[in-house]
Structure 1
């Protein structure tokens, strides 16, 4: 008997989603305190959204990775961005 997924499949049961759009923002801190960068991820054409708080170095690195990657996935449970895919044997 084949593995049958638990039913019903819901938005919350989908673990890995494809990044559709993203937006960086900067949020001002309290007076005299530094601000924070945020990255809003729009996943599966708006089926799910996630907002990450970043330090300036991470924001810079992620901007570079996101602007050059053809496909990006996001693991919702592990809060992990995965850039591109490589077919087996083509590493």
Structure 2
């Protein structure tokens, strides 16, 4: 029988499927000659245990890449599709 801490941990794990972003790759794909392309950011989660592809416009890609660079760590909630950043270096 699990103790109180184990039960709480299991309940939180069921509620949130959060993985650490351990690497990422940005890409741009041509859709057709003279047409706007498509930007994606591939998030590598927990050293390859999982991955997620974000499709974003050019403004969002720029911001996301800057946040990934400035954060000590980034986490991704698989269920809620939320990218979270820890300890951002917001200096120059």
TM class by shorter chain equals: 0.7 to 0.9
RMSD, matched Cα:
2.5
Counterpart Cα distance in 2 of 1:30 and 1:15: 37
Q: Is there any run of 5+ residues in structure 1 with no aligned partner, and where? A: 86-91
TM-score by length of 1: 0.78
Look up the SS of the partner of 1:77 in the other structure.
coil
Correspondent of 1:39 among 19, 38, 41: 41
Following superposition of structure 1 onto structure 2, how do residues 8-87 of structure 1 map, counting pairs within 5 Å? Answer: 15-84=17-86
TM superposition shift of 1:31: 3.0
- Aligned pair count reads 82
| Structure with the higher helix share, 1 or 2 | 2
Output the CA distance in 2 between the equivalents of 1:14 and 1:63: 24
- Provide the TM-score with structure 2 as the length reference: 0.77
Runs of 5+ consecutive residues of structure 2 not aligned to the other structure? 88-92
Runs of 4+ with deviation above 6 angstroms:
none
**1:12-36 CA distance string (max 9 Å, x none):** x970000000000001112332001
